Amino acid sequence: MSIGTAIMLSILAGFAYWTRRFLGDWFLDRPIVVAPITGLIMGDFHLGLIVGGTLELIFMGATDIGGSVPPNYNIGSILGAAFAISSGQGISTAVLIAVPAALLGSFAELLAKTVSVFFIHAADRMADDGNYKGIARMLHLGNLVHFLADAIPTFIALTLGANAVKAIMNDIPHWLQNGITATGDLLPALGFALLLSTLASPAMFPFYFIGFLLAAYTKMGVLGVAVMALLVAIVLQSRKPDDDHFDAETEIAATATTGHGGVLDKKDLRLLWLRSFGLQSAFSFDRMQAIGFAWAMTPLLRKIYRNQPQEFSLALKRHLMFINTNPWVSGPIFAMTADLEIRKALGEQDIEEQAIQGLKSGLMGPLAGVGDSMFQGTLRPVVAGVMAGLALQGNPLAPFLFIAIVNAVHIFVSWYTFKKGFDMGDQFLGVLASGRIRKVMEGATMTGLMAVGALTATWLTVSTPLTYHVQKATVSLQTMLDGIMPDILPLAATMLVFWLVRRRFNTTRIMLGMIVVGLVLGSFNIIK
């Protein structure tokens, strides 16, 4: 592999991760996106597409929520696709490289989030002097660290490991390659189990089996089951009455009101909304999205406190405090916080710093729950599962459709919730606490569970070639199992891993255990 190609792929790795931080998480670092781009750069888009679909299923349940550090599927996917193409060994190489690379790559993200702690504390000192430009520099430096955290390990691995990987793959015996292939087929069970762990409750769990049985017996496919699931959810949830009441978690923020004193014009609102996409910038372990929130609020704070430098400094400091929510639905927090800041700047005596902090604290948890369950737990896996199927069929539109669909929803939801936050004020809190939101979340959960069930039956290709003899007849064990229930082995594998996840076994250890089991059972031709 040439140095030029390694540099291009390293920039791809860094940029894809950087977009998660500065552009509001567009899912550009998912395997279904970066692996085909890797293939395009290296001259084999088709293999990159197949690798992307395969690895998307394996890393289906890996998602960056809160301060979690999942396997670095961005680095793993780029290295897996690159080495699969350069070695000429195909999918087996991609799986062999991508999984351990993703596990090791998580240390790069740990390092970036740790280093960003220093930037947030430097921003504190700059806020004392009202140095908003210095805070912006800390934000961009933190984002640069996150960019380099993926770019540098990718470059090192590509330049040092290409020839070694090719030599190793050429020397791997056939029986071990069978084990590697079986491991790749088995690993999506972990992704599906992690999704189940996020979505499933005792009342909702049957929807997973409904989706599985539909796909297993009718071969309807993931898209068909997902559409049916959405229709079922709409019918069931429309029959439930709304339960409109405030709960204790959001009453703390009930001091917000509609309007913004005529201080802001449309240009100010658009700027605040656009800057809200940088919420996850310089993400650190101690205060998470704090510096991104302060940076987004800075133009508004400068405008309303332009003649009050001390108040401007205090406002910067209070918005450098801890915050963590789903970036797609952060708009109401920005809108209602802006309203309180404007009222404070206009001299309303009842608006104190504690009220502003209370609003942010009261909203960030419920909105994170809504956003994570509906988008990270439902929309992204459903769309990714459908597009992974298209990718495995060689459809070149798969990565483009994935980006277009999820981000069309992203842009709409971000702007709609932001605008509603300004238009509705404290009425938005009533909607958030009401049964209407819970009905939407339950409907999304039903849809997600049925889609995951369909994914299990459709794309978890675990079977056994074992046979046994009865008198002179040879009986296939797989045929016997299919007579009991189609795709019973994929279901059993997913349920076993789900049980381990729910018993709080370490995810990395589960993955390593699955690799060992897959290698052993595949090498001895027990599963295929």
What's the pLDDT band for 98 if we cut at 50, 70, 90? Answer: confident
Looking at residue 86, what is its pLDDT? 86
Q: Rounded to an integer, what distance in angstroms lies between the CA atom of residue 42 and that of residue 1?
A: 9
Q: Rounded to an integer, what distance in angstroms lies between the CA atom of residue 311 and that of residue 298?
A: 13
The vertex-59 CA angle with 172 and 1, nearest 5°, equals 50
Structure tokens given for 477: 């064990």
pLDDT, greater one: 230 or 77: 77
pLDDT at 105 over 50: yes
Provide Rg for the chain, Cα atoms. 25
Per residue in 345-384, pLDDT tens?
877 666 777 777 777 877 787 788 778 878 887 888 889 9
What's the pLDDT band for 295 if we cut at 50, 70, 90? Answer: very high
Q: Which of 50-59, 140-149, 172-181, 459-468 has the highest mean pLDDT?
A: 140-149
Mean pLDDT is lowest, of 170-179, 280-289, 459-468, for 170-179
Q: Rounded to an integer, what distance in angstroms lies between the CA atom of residue 315 and that of residue 312?
A: 5
Question: Percentage of the chain with pLDDT > 90?
Answer: 33
pLDDT at 343 over 70: yes
Looking at residue 279, what is its pLDDT? 93
Mean pLDDT is lowest, of 34-48, 184-198, 252-266, 364-378, for 252-266
pLDDT, greater one: 70 or 328: 328
Per residue in 473-511, pLDDT tens?
787 888 888 888 999 999 999 999 999 988 888 887 888
Looking at residue 252, what is its pLDDT? 39
Looking at residue 114, what is its pLDDT? 87
Residue 14's contacts (CB-CB under 8 Å, 6 or more residues apart) are 147, 148, 149, 150, 151, 154
Q: Rounded to an integer, what distance in angstroms lies between the CA atom of residue 398 and that of residue 341?
A: 44
Looking at residue 247, what is its pLDDT? 47
Per residue in 423-471, pLDDT tens?
776 666 555 555 566 777 778 788 888 888 988 998 888 889 888 877 7
Report how far Cα 340 is from the mean position of its chain's Cα atoms.
31
Q: Rounded to an integer, what distance in angstroms lies between the CA atom of residue 452 and that of residue 30?
A: 18
What's the average model confidence in pLDDT over 207-224?
89
Mean of per-residue pLDDT scores for the chain: 84
Per residue in 110-122, pLDDT tens?
888 888 989 998 9
Looking at residue 251, what is its pLDDT? 43
Place of tokens 């019973």: 488
The β-bridge relationship of strands 467-470 and 473-476 is antiparallel
pLDDT at 245 over 70: no
Q: CB neighbours (10 Å) of residue 495? A: 16
pLDDT at 273 over 90: yes
Looking at residue 423, what is its pLDDT? 77
pLDDT at 178 over 90: no
* Cβ proximity of 34 and 77 under 8 Å: yes
Looking at residue 421, what is its pLDDT? 82
pLDDT at 66 over 90: no
Looking at residue 352, what is its pLDDT? 73
- Alpha-carbon dihedral 290, 292, 294, 300, rounded to 10 degrees: -150
What's the pLDDT band for 67 if we cut at 50, 70, 90? Answer: low
Looking at residue 261, what is its pLDDT? 52
Whether pTM > 0.85 for this model: the answer is no
Mean pLDDT is lowest, of 13-17, 34-38, 137-141, 304-308, for 304-308
Looking at residue 61, what is its pLDDT? 75
Per residue in 382-434, pLDDT tens?
899 889 989 998 999 999 999 999 999 999 999 998 988 887 766 665 555 55
pLDDT, greater one: 11 or 506: 11
pLDDT at 25 over 70: yes
